[in-house]
């Protein structure tokens, strides 16, 4: 656990706390998953609720991400409901308030928040409401395949060894269904999802390097190779899980076409062969395993925690096989 102490906003306390909010909130959930990572995809229908704001105050959220999103747009969800024991970590929610709308990444839990009460960062709150109001009405919905700032990253938890291994996955966008880990020359083992968002193999997987197969609730799957047993360090990969990434991520430059050579004696009756039709792009299509793995062949680079890439977004424990 992060050992994080949550700050209650004075306006939330003054307003009467959870009892007042519970009386006015709808029963619809953004995450109808009962907390299990193997559950059906969350509803994308808009729900009504209330929003307050809080500060991390120099601590990490319960999702254990090494740092808050660079744009400071994040949210904490009810610890006993929508946080779903960490299953919601790393997913994205669109929130609309009296002043406008914004997109936030789930990075924390809120012990006192009932269903529909979203505790936003101050930056996010000010984008959709007036700070002095303290509590504002909102509509919100989960965002499938939300754009992420870059490829998958993997952080090996401090204390990991050949006998016990725990990893944190980031930039996955959608809720994860399973994480499987294989040691060097070994077979894949299903990791257990912790409520602080790490995936753990209690018996370990050797000294590495490891292959990690990541699958989300929409069926997108990718296998990331060459993950080192490097405690407390974030390892960047070339793998992508969801179908979209943010514009801040540069794609590989297209190869220049070689100039066509002229034929010495072209036939006057010959015609150009039509080019093969291109497949129509689909922004909603999941990245299948055979395609995703080709993006993960490069050996990941290891970044110390202090220099970790900053994210620009962002029931019952998982028992997925």
Q: Which residues contact 169 (CB under 8 A, 6 or more apart)?
A: 90, 152, 153, 154, 176, 179, 199, 212, 214
CATH label of the domain that carries residue 29: 2.40.40.10
pLDDT digits (tens, 9 = 90+) for 194-238: 999 999 999 999 999 999 999 999 999 999 999 999 999 999 999
* b (16+ CB within 10 A) / e for 83-122: bbbbbbbbbbbbbbbeeeebbbbbbbbbebbbbbbbbbbe
Shared domain check, 166 and 231? yes
Same domain, 156 and 232: yes
Domain C-terminal end among 97, 119, 142: 142
Given 100, 120, 142, the domain boundary residue is 142
**pLDDT for the residue 41:** 60
Residue 221 belongs to what domain range? 145-247+285-321
- By the 10 Å C-beta count (0-12 exposed, 13-18 middle, 19+ buried), 26 is classed as exposed
Q: Do residues 200 and 160 both lie within one domain?
A: yes
Does residue 171 sit in the same domain as residue 122? no
Q: Are residues 171 and 94 in the same domain?
A: no
pLDDT at 278 over 70: no
- Nearest in space to 88 (alpha carbons), one of 65, 109, 66: 109
Answer yes or no: do 209 and 236 share one domain.
yes
Alpha helix positions (H), the chain: 10-14, 18-24, 122-128, 289-292
Question: Does residue 5 lie within any of the structural domains?
Answer: no
Q: Are residues 234 and 221 in the same domain?
A: yes
CB 292 within 8 A of CB 286: no
Give the residue among 296, 156, 311, 149 at the shortest CA–CA distance from 222.
Answer: 296
Confidence check: pLDDT of 53 > 60: yes
Query: In whole numbers, what is the pLDDT of the chain averaged over residues?
Result: 75
Averaged over 297-312, what is the pLDDT? 38
**Would you say residue 42 lies in a domain?**
yes
Q: Are residues 50 and 84 in the same domain?
A: yes
Residue 262 has pLDDT above 60, yes or no: no
Question: Cβ neighbours of residue 214 under 8 Å, at least 6 residues apart?
Answer: 152, 169, 172, 176, 178, 179, 221, 222, 223, 224, 239, 241
pLDDT digits (tens, 9 = 90+) for 289-302: 433 433 444 444 44
User: Quick one: DSSP state of residue 311?
Assistant: P
135 shares its domain with 154: no
Please check whether residue 47 is in contact with residue 7, taking contact to mean a CB–CB distance below 8 angstroms. Answer: no
Largest CA distance in the chain: 88
**Euclidean distance between CA atoms 107 and 4, whole angstroms:** 12
CATH of the domain at 187: 2.60.40.760
Domain-located, residue 47 = yes
Q: Could you tell me if 167 and 294 lie in one domain?
A: yes
Counting the structural domains of the chain, the total is 2
């Amino acid at each position: 656990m992060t050992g994080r102490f949550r700050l209650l906003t004075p306006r939330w306390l003054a307003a009467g706390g959870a009892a007042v909010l519970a009386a006015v909130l709808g029963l619809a959930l953004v995450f109808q998953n009962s907390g299990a990572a193997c559950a059906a995809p969350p509803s994308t229908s808009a729900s009504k609720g209330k929003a307050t704001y809080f500060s991390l105050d120099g601590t990490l959220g319960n999702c254990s991400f090494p740092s808050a999103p660079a744009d400071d747009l994040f949210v904490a969800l009810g610890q006993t409901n929508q946080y779903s024991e960490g299953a919601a970590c790393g997913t994205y929610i669109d929130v609309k308030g009296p002043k406008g709308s914004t997109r936030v990444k789930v990075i924390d839990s809120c012990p006192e928040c009932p269903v529909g009460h979203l505790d936003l960062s101050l930056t996010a709150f000010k984008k959709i409401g007036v700070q002095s109001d303290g509590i504002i009405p909102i509509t919100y919905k989960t965002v499938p395949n939300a754009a992420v700032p870059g490829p998958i990253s993997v952080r090996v938890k401090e204390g990991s060894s050949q006998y016990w291994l725990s990893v944190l996955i980031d930039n996955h966008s959608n809720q994860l269904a399973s994480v499987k880990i294989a040691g060097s020359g070994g077979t894949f083992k299903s990791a257990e999802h912790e409520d602080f968002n790490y995936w753990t193999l209690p018996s370990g997987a050797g000294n590495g390097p490891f292959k990690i197969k990541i699958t989300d609730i929409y069926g997108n799957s990718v296998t990331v190779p060459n993950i080192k047993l490097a405690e407390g360090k974030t390892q960047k990969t070339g793998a992508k899980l969801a179908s979209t990434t943010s514009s801040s991520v540069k794609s590989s430059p297209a190869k220049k076409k070689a100039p066509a050579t002229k034929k010495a004696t072209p036939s006057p009756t010959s015609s150009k062969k039509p080019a093969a039709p291109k497949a129509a792009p689909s922004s909603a299509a999941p990245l299948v395993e055979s395609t995703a793995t080709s993006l993960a062949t490069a050996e990941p680079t290891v970044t110390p925690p202090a220099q970790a890439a900053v994210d620009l977004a962002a029931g019952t424990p998982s028992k997925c096989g």
